[in-house]
Structure 1
Amino acid sequence: MNSVPYRAHRNTLSAEFVNGSDRVSTYYSYISKRPDAYIARNVRMEKPERQKADRTRLVSVLEEYNLRIHNSPKAMESIRALLRPETLVIIGGQQAGLLTGPVLVMYKAITIIQEAKKASAALGKPVVPVFWIAGEDHDMNEVNHIQVLNPQGKFEKLSLDSRIQALEGVSHVSISQDDWNEVMEKLEAYLIDTEFKSQLVGKLREIHQQSGTLSDAFARTMAWLFAEHGLVLMDAADPNIRALERPMFRELLEQHEALNEMIVKQGEALVRDGFPLQAEPAEHQVNLFMRSGGRRKLLQYEDGRFQDKQGTESWTKEELLTFIEEHPERFSNNVFTRPLMQEFLFPVLGTVLGPAEIAYWGLLKPAFEHLDMEMPVLIPRTEITFVESTVQKHLDKYELTAEDVMERYEEKLQAWLKDQDHIDIEGQFHRVRDEFIRLYRPVVESLKQIQPGMNQLGNTNMEKILEQIVFLENKAKKALIDRHGTAMRQWEKMYASLKPMGKYQERVYNVFVYLNKYGMQWLEDLIRWDADDEVHYLMYV
């Protein structure tokens, strides 16, 4: 595979962060390129820190969970390495999506693994890769489906039963074997026949037969895909993790007003500097969720009491502190407090983030400092757009680049169609319209001399004739397109491959589309591939 950097369009704050701009340095603790940032962060972490989660208990909880999902011996070695006080982690996370969700999840895991190895070499100490599964997320519609191209080249949405809801969080929703079987049957039908398909589908069936929830299936699949690379997995909704987080939940609740005020003010500063907000902070937010009445509810604080967003339930601070003590598994973080909880749980050297995540982390530096913490090194996850060989042939045929298709598709397509129009359809019809109006308008204007209102009828008649001219013009253009049907299908295939549904490829397609075509070695080659400091790459297969 050959790769070249690609300047993708992204959120302004994220783009300036990636480019190391001094303009955003006040919003982050580390802007410098790695590994210098790792060295500086490591020095900072060697100094006495505020109280953190008990490492021995954390290791015990991670061992229990990773054994349950059948993670590899190398992952268990990574977990045991955390018993050593000098061991650090590179961490990143994502929601638990069906069949791992969009392929960007793979790129995040790969970046975590690669950066852990680089950091360990730079610092001369163990650095463990950790993947944080956001199993507490409750938007089932966001994670219950993937998009694939069927053997006919058409988009298919493969999803779980839409009636399955995750009102308390994805990790709390049981998925029946009938539902899993339906998903696997559709996947098998949609994937093209290859030498890898049978073994791939068979392994996925085996994993889903052992999985009771979407989070469970996600974790087991990730453990299988990255078995040789020591990737530690954790589910944020694991009750044993929640028990470890009890002290931090208490502190986040006690400090909620000060923390939220800082986040809101930081958002105002970003807006003044011209940066759009990726996540909107708001007054009265506690930035914690609590499960109550069969739902996961975002807490707010007004008039001295805590309540859910709809105001249907309310609690005193003492009541919530008691709940935290007795049932910490009922609580979870939102986007603003999850980074703080992550810092409490793990010795975080760096965290791997997508562009949107980098943008909302820009709100959090004062919150870290208020809790006597420091924001870790932020690592942009690698982004990849695959340019497959058949697509490259079409690009060459029409003298296009991948960037042309991804950023200027309609413009390039219309220019090509115009080149195929040897009779100048648009020009001819434009001249006909102009000449018709020139000749017909004076006639229409003269009609009012015969009878008042006749010119209005003439204008209506003229508009109808113009509509018919436009109708014929559109029919002629469509006939031109139909005449070049094979070429149009090739253009559509390029766009469907490189910018499917108008989105970057990594946000639409699923990893098993590629594993089915190229086998497991494709993933191993990606992990061994050493990216430079660029973020988005065009990778030619």
Structure 2
Amino acid sequence: MEVKEMALPSINPFASDYIKSKMNIRDFFHYDLAEVNVYNRRIQELKEKRFQREELSNTIAQYMNRFGMSEAVRDHIEALKDPDSTVVIGGQQAGLLSGPLYTIHKIISIIKLAEKQSVELGKKVIPVFWIAGEDHDLQEVNHVFALKGDHYEKITYPYHQKTKTMVSDTPLIETEASAWIQEIFRSFGETAYTKDLIVSLKQKISSSFSLTDFFVSIINDWFKEYGLLLVDAADPRLRKLESSYFEAMIEHHSEITSAVLEQQSFLSIQGYKKTIEMEANSANLFYYDKEVKNRILLHFNKDSSVFSDKAHKLEFSYKELLEMAKIHPERLSNNVVTRPLMQEMLFPVLAFIAGPGEISYWAELKKAFELFDMKMPPIVARLNMTFVERQIEKELHELDLDLYEVLTKGTEEAEKRFLISEKDESLELLFYQMKGQLNNHHKMFSQAALVHDRGLEPLLKKNADFINEQLDFIYGKIIDSMRQKHRHILDSFKNVANHLYPEASLQERIVNIYYYLNKYGDTFIDDLMKLELEFNNQHKIIYI
């Protein structure tokens, strides 16, 4: 593997301005990465905070134990108890087969930054991946895009979700999941690695109770030797540690909402759009009905002083909700506003690894953090990568394609330029001359005919349209013949787009890592981890 770098524009204006320091960072965040010794300052401030280190360490150990712990994982679990240790953390939903590539990019970012800061600070910095198992949006995680023919298709795990069930409560049914995996690998094509990969995945399916279990089994296998700690936000044992934090969020729910709305207003004044959609009466917590497996967003009714769903079919008083936080915290979960707060209450976070969207919505939470006398950690943009296979590199060269243009616009414009260059201009000129002359003669003929009979007008118009359709049809056939003549080249344009800019999007948002594992073997991730990847906000072009 070889790494080159390229500056690509971000589709998220706020994240782009943050990365390029085109704003007053302190208006939105508590730390500016451009400042000298920012991590040393963060460590000193973390020392003033108290964390449930022993309990957190034991909880993670209990959770990870059944997935198999490496020595590196055990070492990091034990190191978490040390008051001098910190973590680099980031998170994502539990996507099937690990989800799109950006999940892998984020995990690599977490591990790489933790390793880098461990060396530079001379202290233990632990990589932690926070799995959003409490999330109920199954449509976000239940599929993989696979290339079929000349386009990508969404291959969806066939499970019907009747209620807003947490992903960590969504069952993985062995027969359906196994058939689903077979379909995906058929789209990849059989290689020397296919059989072993499928066998390994089927073993994981048979030992997984939920979609989250399946995700953790995969990720743990790939990254346990790097000491990655995995945390499921839906783990009931973790919920017990969060009990008092839920209480604080309930007690200050209205202040949290007001703080976010105030910061959003400030963002708007600065010319940025808000990311978080919320209502003025939002409680920013979910209630989870374990019996029917339904996750319900709570709102607060000032008139009746109760927390309820929108339809008011479910209601809790302040006292009842606080009691729930104490005795049954597993029935509560965070939304997009309170999840970052909970993360900071639980972990001594040295840095948070964020995608572009996360950078935007964290900027709306500054005042909410301050409500709890907390500072946001340094926000570090995750590494962005595009894999370029040798065959694709060859096609780029043969087609004289600019990689920057492909990664920002795709290949459509380049393909149009090619077709224009191959067009027979004399034939095209003759076609438009003939069409113009025929239309003129038909118009004169029609005018003469209408003198004799005005009732012929609809028929004459229909006849003119028919003639034009036939002319366009035959010219279209000529164009099709030209395209067929250059089919091999046009297929190359499409192939490049499918691998580098699929569905008019960056590769990381569509392609799954198993495409590469199936082609290059299960050492692919270890080979990635050996690369020197700098946090310099440059897009990594990785030639494989």
Q: TM-score range by the shorter chain?
A: over 0.9
Deviation for aligned residue 1:279: 2.7
Map residues 75-474 of structure 1 onto 2, 5 A cutoff. 75-149=73-147, 155-164=152-161, 167-292=164-289, 293-302=292-301, 303=303, 304-406=305-407, 407-423=409-425, 426-445=428-447, 447-452=449-454, 454-455=456-457, 457-474=459-476
1:392-423 superposed Cα distances (whole Å, 9 cap, x missing partner): 11111111122333315211111111222235
Deviation for aligned residue 1:42: 2.1
Tell me, in whole angstroms, the C-alpha distance in 2 between the residues paired with 1:513 and 1:221.
15
- State the SS of the aligned residue for 2:523: helix
Is 2:537 the counterpart of 1:534? Answer: yes
Quickly say closer, same or farther: Cα 1:469–1:249, change in 2 above 3 A: same
- State the SS of the aligned residue for 1:22: coil
Tell me, in whole angstroms, the C-alpha distance in 1 between the residues paired with 2:487 and 2:183.
29
Please, what TM-score do these two structures have when normalized by structure 1?
0.93
Contact 1:5 1:534 (8 Å CA) reproduced: no
Tell me, in whole angstroms, the C-alpha distance in 2 between the residues paired with 1:438 and 1:9.
51
Tell me, in whole angstroms, the C-alpha distance in 2 between the residues paired with 1:104 and 1:373.
29
Deviation for aligned residue 1:449: 3.7
Residue equivalent to 2:504 = 502
1:193-241 superposed Cα distances (whole Å, 9 cap, x missing partner): 3333333222222222211111011111111001210000010000000
Structure 2: segments with no counterpart, 5+ residues: none
Deviation for aligned residue 1:305: 2.2
- State the SS of the aligned residue for 1:212: coil
* Between 63-72 and 402-411, the greater mean CA deviation after superposition: 402-411
Contact 2:151 2:498 (8 Å CA) reproduced: no
Residue equivalent to 1:15 = 16
1:62-101 superposed Cα distances (whole Å, 9 cap, x missing partner): 1111112213221111011011101000000011111111
Tell me, in whole angstroms, the C-alpha distance in 2 between the residues paired with 1:216 and 1:285.
31
Count of matched residue pairs:
537
Tell me, in whole angstroms, the C-alpha distance in 1 between the residues paired with 2:317 and 2:436.
75
Tell me, in whole angstroms, the C-alpha distance in 1 between the residues paired with 2:312 and 2:434.
65
Residue equivalent to 1:480 = 482
- State the SS of the aligned residue for 2:386: strand
Quickly say closer, same or farther: Cα 1:480–1:4, change in 2 above 3 A: same
Deviation for aligned residue 1:103: 1.4
- State the SS of the aligned residue for 1:357: helix
Tell me, in whole angstroms, the C-alpha distance in 2 between the residues paired with 1:440 and 1:36.
81
- State the SS of the aligned residue for 2:283: strand
1:32-76 superposed Cα distances (whole Å, 9 cap, x missing partner): 248743233223323x23xx5411111110111111221322111
1:294-326 superposed Cα distances (whole Å, 9 cap, x missing partner): 310111122332111333322222111122122
Deviation for aligned residue 1:273: 2.1
Quickly say closer, same or farther: Cα 1:71–1:309, change in 2 above 3 A: farther
Tell me, in whole angstroms, the C-alpha distance in 2 between the residues paired with 1:69 and 1:6.
39
Residue equivalent to 1:523 = 525
Contact 2:19 2:381 (8 Å CA) reproduced: yes
What is the aligned-residue identity percentage? 32
Tell me, in whole angstroms, the C-alpha distance in 2 between the residues paired with 1:2 and 1:425.
47
* Between 302-311 and 425-434, the greater mean CA deviation after superposition: 425-434
Amino acid at match of 2:242: E
Map residues 36-47 of structure 1 onto 2, 5 A cutoff. 36-46=37-47
- State the SS of the aligned residue for 1:226: helix
Tell me, in whole angstroms, the C-alpha distance in 1 between the residues paired with 2:502 and 2:433.
38
Amino acid at match of 1:96: A
Contact 2:30 2:376 (8 Å CA) reproduced: yes
Deviation for aligned residue 1:22: 2.5
Tell me, in whole angstroms, the C-alpha distance in 1 between the residues paired with 2:35 and 2:182.
45
- State the SS of the aligned residue for 2:258: helix
Contact 2:182 2:198 (8 Å CA) reproduced: no
